[in-house]
Structure 1
Amino acid sequence: MTAVGDPGPFSAHLGFRVVRADGDGAVVEADPGPEHLNGGGILHGGYLSALLDSATGWAVHAAGPEGMIAPHVQLNAQFLKAGVAGQPLVCTATCTSVGGRICTTQGEVTQAGRVIARATGTHAVISRG
């Protein structure tokens, strides 16, 4: 498992920073730039989905036993408002249940104090550590 603060290679490539990952959940921040926009000039849904995926992943791994492996098997994202480049994003996520085979999560992305996206996720526990 990666140390808290090290988001992993893909998330680092996108500029994500793990602020916190503990039993209460996870907080991951990002500073979107023009390269994260879609053709319409707003934040790409894939960028927001990757942020939600990362934060909910950190939340489930922080809630489970040390060394647990529980990748996403489903992520349902909802985009509520258009996000923009140049303003920080904060993604807050929690693990809502840790089971022997399945874990569930939820998260939301805010920008300038407004919720712009949210998601629920399901993770398959493939190793308990």
Structure 2
Amino acid sequence: MSAALTPSHDEALAQWLDEEKAVRAMLRPEHGVATMAEIAGLNGLQQMQAMLDGKLPPPPIAQTLDFTLLRVSKGEVIFQGSPKFRHYNPMGTVHGGWYATLLDSALGCAVHTTLDPGRGYTTLELKINLVRALNERVPVVRAIGRVRHVGRQMATAEADLIGHDGKLYAHGSTTCLIFDPVKR
């Protein structure tokens, strides 16, 4: 791709923020957890799409840690988050748990998009590598999760946490157990 076709960092940031604003305008204003009745008969991809369409509530953790679901397709999701001062550790950078939460969300939800109606999953293993520090000077990052394998009882996925400037801040992988869920 030629330099003329590649957006500048400022243009990329503006595009990312505009996309997030448009998605947030579609989301339900209240955060919560979908009921079994609300998701009955929906496969995982339909459930994630219903969240983006404002038919299901976004989870409370997204509000707490300043991130949102941006895009979903079968086997891939994108979350966007804004590192804030309230996410700092004692060393003055964003806490590793914030990275882990964004990556875990992208990884698990990528798996979720592949599930048939009535199936659930849980994380068995989460591995992350932090490769660059985050602070408030990085306005926004994206966690891009992709499924690597889905079987009847187990799935694996990988994700990258990148900035609008193309820098990699972290990457991770997961192994998930797939099951028929217990009744809530």
Per the normalisation by structure 2, the TM-score is 0.65
* Structure with higher RCO (Cα < 8 A, 6+ apart): 1
Counterpart in 2 of 1:82?
133
1:124 and 2:174 are equivalent in the alignment = no
Q: 2:119 matched to 1:72?
A: no
1:93 aligns with 2:145: yes
- 1:9-56 Cα distance to aligned partner (Å, 9 max, x none): 223321211011211400000111100111111111000000001111
More helix by share: 2
Deviation at 1:4, TM superposition (A): 3.0
Contact 1:19/1:28, CA 8 A, preserved across alignment: yes
Residue identity (%): 24
Cα displacement (A) at 1:8:
1.1
Unpaired stretches in structure 2, ≥5 consecutive residues = 1-38, 40-46
Is the contact made by 2:77 and 2:145 (CA closer than 8 Å) also made in structure 1?
A: yes
Deviations 1:88-126 (A, max 9, x none): 011100111111110101001012320010000010011
Q: CA RMSD in A?
A: 1.7
Unaligned runs of 5+ in 1: none
Please identify the structure whose Cα radius of gyration is greater: 2
Q: How many residues align?
A: 128
Contact 1:101–1:124 (CA<8 Å) still a contact in 2? yes
Specify the code of the residue in structure 1 equivalent to 2:135.
Answer: V
Relative to the length of structure 1, the TM-score reads 0.90
Q: Which amino acid aligns with 2:151?
A: G
